[in-house]
Structure 1
């Protein structure tokens, strides 16, 4: 399968998941490595844009295209199985425990979880401890330019 990541250019080669390991995220605790990806460029952009300030046009981003082998398997986590408030920001610990257990078990290469940003879309979390992770390959990196209209501050 093909998946996407939108990152600052200085992190574009980090398919070794260090950013998530150092900072934690919605689906992993600090110290637990995980690679956050999306099935579309548009969702990858939305997942990043919600964390950026209005009024400042982000620069120096890269869209990374990844090949992920289907043989690693994908576990699908339906929204109905998630705890109440799973989509809140900042993230709740119960979602981190779900992701941490996924990494620990290493039964699947990918965990599909609902997007907290675009409801009914999903994010694909990649397990760097899975035996097939070395087969995950970066296919392309391209500079990504945000549309400035996304970051204009409008008062109604």
Structure 2
């Protein structure tokens, strides 16, 4: 399975989940490493855009194609099984607790979760603590240019 990630240049080959560990996110608390990836390039773009202030076009981003072994164990979370506040902004602690538990249990390599930004799309969270994490590989990186129209103030 190929998944995608957009990352600043210096971190384009870093799959450790360290950035998420430092900052925390919708699916992890600060202190819990997890690698956020998406099912498509378009979803990656939206995920970056929603976190950027209007008028600032992200620069020095790379598109990373990541290969996850086809036989990887994947835990899937249906939208119906999520707490009511799962899409809230700012994100809720309830989703962080779910993601933290996923990492701590280390039963599955990948956690497929619905995107809070694009209905019907999915993000794939990869657990750096899982025994098979070493099989997750960067396939390709290429400089990514965002369409400026996504960030223009009107």
TM class, shorter-chain normalised? over 0.9
Gaps of 5+ in 1: none
The 5 A counterparts of 1:40-119 are 40-119=40-119
| Partner secondary structure for residue 53 of structure 1 | coil
| Partner secondary structure for residue 102 of structure 1 | helix
| CA distance in structure 1 between the aligned counterparts of 2:126 and 2:85, rounded to whole angstroms | 23
TM-score normalised by length of structure 2: 0.97
Q: Deviations over 1:36-55 (max 9, x none)?
A: 00011110111111111111
Q: Is the 8 A contact 1:112 1:124 kept in 2?
A: yes
Q: Deviations over 1:39-79 (max 9, x none)?
A: 11110111111111111222111000101112221111000
Match of 1:30 in 2: 30
| CA distance in structure 1 between the aligned counterparts of 2:103 and 2:123, rounded to whole angstroms | 15
Gaps of 5+ in 2: none
Q: Is the 8 A contact 1:69 1:132 kept in 2?
A: no
| CA distance in structure 2 between the aligned counterparts of 1:131 and 1:70, rounded to whole angstroms | 15
